[in-house]
Amino acid sequence: MRKVAIVGGGLTKFGVRKATYKELAQEAGKAVFEDVPNLDKKDVDSLFLGSAASDRMAFQSYPAPLVAEQVGVQPNKVIMRTELACASGQAAMRAAYGSIASGLSDIALVMGVEKMNTPNMAETQTTMAAVMDREWDGVNGMSAPPFFALVMMRHMHEYGTTREQLGMVSVKNHDYSASNPFAQFQKKFTLEDVINSVEISKPIRLLDCSGITDGAGGIVMTSEDRAKEFTDTPVYIEGLAQCNMGSLVSNLPSLTTWKPMKKAFRAALMMAGKDIYDMAFAEVHDCFTIAEIIAYEDGGMCKKGEGGKFIEEGNPYVGGRLPVNTHGGLLGTGHPLGATSIAQTVEVIEQFRGEVPEERYVGGEWALTHNLSGNANVHSVLVFRRGG
Amino acid sequence: MPKIDLPYLLDFCPLQTEDFTRIHEFFTNLKEGKFTTTKCKSCGEILWQPRVVCPHCNSDEMEWIDLPQEGKLFAFTEVIHGAPLGMEDDAPFSIGIVDLEDPKMKVLARVDDAHYEDLEFGQEMRLKIITLEDGRVWFRWVRK
C-alpha cells in the first residue's frame, strides 16, 4: 500500500450562487489547478466526483464525465461519481485514497460539486427529504431539520443540554466564517440572534441550521513519492474509517449516542496511532448545532452528556483545548453536500501551510475531519498529518 | 412553463397495490383497521418496516402479526418551515416517535391535532389511519 498525499486544492465562493452546476465545476477546477501550478492536466489519470443530488437539484445524472469536460481532464484510470448524501465528498476522497494506495491511480482530481438553490425551495426540500427512507420516513415529513430536532430535544431532555450551549456553537462557527472568504455567511451573530431566529422544526431555529448552499471544490491527491513534485507541504492521510448502523429512524440504535461515530473516530485515530487530543484541530460535521455538541461527546473530546459544558468552558475555540471548525463549519460556510468535505480538507491544507487569518490560525502537525450523512447513520473520519 | 402535477414517483407515499409491492398486505390490513408487520417464521425476528426477506437469517418465510395501536411518546418535533412538495400546505405539522410495549419497537409518524407545546415525553398516543384522496392509506399518531 502506498502512502497517499494531498498536494493542493481550491474552492468556489459558497452561497446562493448565480451560476449553474457546470459553471461551479469550472470555477472549482480553476481554483484547484491554480493552487497546484506544476500539475499538467494531462497527468490527471483519475477523477472522483462527490455529488449528492445532481439528479434532482441540477436535473443532471451521470455528472462525472460532464465535470471532466468542464475542467479539462481526460481520466484514463478511474472516473466515477460518489454519492453518500452529506458525505459524498469524503466518499470521493476515500475512493481516491484506495485507488492511489493500491497503485491503480497516480494522480487523482477529487471534486465536490453541488447546486442546491433552485427557483422553488420546496424542490430542494423534497430532495433532502428523500435522503431519508422515502417511503417510511420521508412520507411523514421527515427530513434533516425534523430529524435533528428530535435528536436535540432528546439530548436536552436526557442530559440537560441548554438552549444557550447549543447557541454558542452557532456563534463560534459564524465568528470563524466571518473571516473566511469562501463562506456563505461572512457575518457574526450574537447568542440572542441565534436563540431568537426563525423556528424551522421545533426546537431547531434557523441559526441552528447550516445553509442551503451552491458550491464546489477540488483537491489533488497523489502518492507520497510524487507529492514533492507539486508542493513543499503535502498533507498525508494517515487514518480513515467509516461506520454505518441502520437507516430507518425508528430502528436507529439511539438518537443521542451516535455509536457509528464513536467507532469511526476510534478506528481512524487508531490507524493513525493517535489520540483525539493529538489533533491540533478538528473539522466536524456541524450540519446543526446539536451535531457539533454530539461530536464533542462521541468523538471522544469529553464525557457523554457533557458536550454543552465542553463549549461553555471554552474548549473548542481557537486557543482552547481542541479548536473545532476553525473554518466556520457548515453552520458558517454553508453545506453544499458534495463539496462540504472538500472545504474541510482545504481548511486543513491552509492551516498546515499557514494561509489562514491570524485570529483563527492553529497550524500544527495533525488534524481530523468528520462527516455524518443522512440521519447520522453513517460517520466518515479522516486523519491528516502535515508533511514537509 | 405549464404547471406540472407531482409525478407519481416523486410522491412520498408508497405504491400500495399487488402490482407494485410484495408487502401490499400491510396496506390492505391498514384499510381494515389493522396495524401489522412481518415476523420471520425461521428466526422469529419481528421486522419494521415489513420485509420480504429477513435481514437476520435470510429466510423469505414471513407471517403477518398485529402491532399494538397505542404507545408512549418518545420524541417529537413540529415542522414550521421547509416541508417538502405535497406537504407545504400541511405545515405546521408535528412528527413523533412512539414506543410500543409488545413487541418493543419504535414507530415514527406524523402527529395530528397537536402543536409542539401540546406534547410531552411519555404521553399516551394512539394510531389513526388516514385515507388519501386516491384511496391509498397511511397512519399517524394522535393523543389518546
- The backbone region for A267, taken as left when phi is positive above 0, alpha when psi lies in -120 to 50, beta otherwise, is alpha
Residues of A in contact with B87 (CB under 8 A): 141
Q: What is the pLDDT of residues B64-123, one digit of tens each?
A: 999 999 999 999 999 999 999 889 899 999 999 999 999 999 999 999 999 999 999 999
Query: Of B74, B75, B84, which has the smallest distance from its Cβ to A126's Cβ?
Result: B84
Cβ–Cβ < 8 Å for A111, A25? yes
pLDDT at A123: 85
In the residue annotation, A327 being an active-site residue is answered as no
Least Cα distance to A189 among A209, A167, A210 occurs for A167
Residues of A in contact with B48 (CB under 8 A): 248, 250-251
Alpha-carbon distance B10 to A77, whole Å? Answer: 36
A with B: how many residue pairs have Cβ under 8 Å apart?
Answer: 100
Alpha-carbon distance B23 to B141, whole Å? Answer: 22
In the residue annotation, A287 being an active-site residue is answered as no
In chain A, whose CA is at the least distance from the CA of B47? A251
pLDDT value at A128 more than 60:
yes
The domain spans of chain B are 12-67, 69-144
pLDDT value at A376 more than 90:
yes
The domain spans of chain A are 4-119+213-235, 141-212+237-386
- CB within 8 Å of A178: residues ≥ 6 apart: A185, A186, A187, A188, A328, A332
Tell me the pLDDT of chain A averaged across its residues: 97
Least Cα distance to A90 among A75, A107, A106, A111 occurs for A111
- CB within 8 Å of A22: residues ≥ 6 apart: A66, A67, A70
**CATH number for region B69-144:** 2.40.50
pLDDT at B5: 64
CB B12 to CB A138 under 8 A?
A: yes
pLDDT band at B1; cut points 50, 70, 90: very low
| A161-190 mean pLDDT | 98
pTM: 0.97
Q: What is the pLDDT of residues A210-238, one digit of tens each?
A: 999 999 999 999 999 999 999 999 999 99
Percentage of chain A surpassing pLDDT 70?
100
What the block records as the C-alpha cell of B21 is 409491492
Residues of B in contact with A249 (CB under 8 A): 97, 108
Alpha-carbon distance A223 to A101, whole Å? Answer: 7
Active-site annotation holder among A86, A243, A287, A302:
A86
Percentage of chain A surpassing pLDDT 90?
98
pLDDT at B56: 97
**Residue A203: cis peptide before it, omega within 30 degrees of 0:** yes
**CATH number for region A141-212+237-386:** 3.40.47.10
Superfamily, domain A4-119+213-235? Thiolase/Chalcone synthase (3.40.47.10)
Kindly report which listed range (A116-125, A309-318, A333-342, B124-133) carries the lowest average pLDDT score.
Answer: A116-125
CB A135 to CB B75 under 8 A?
A: no
Q: What is the pLDDT of residues A244-258, one digit of tens each?
A: 999 999 999 999 999
| B47-74 mean pLDDT | 98
Cβ–Cβ < 8 Å for A364, A281? yes
A9: part of which helix (H) or strand (E)?
A: strand A4-11
Tell me the pLDDT of chain B averaged across its residues: 94
pLDDT at A130: 92
Q: What is the pLDDT of residues A48-85, one digit of tens each?
A: 999 999 999 999 999 999 999 999 999 999 999 999 99
Rounded to a whole number, what is the distance in Å from the CA of B110 to chain A's nearest CA? 5
pLDDT at A159: 98
- Count how many residues are written for chain A: 388
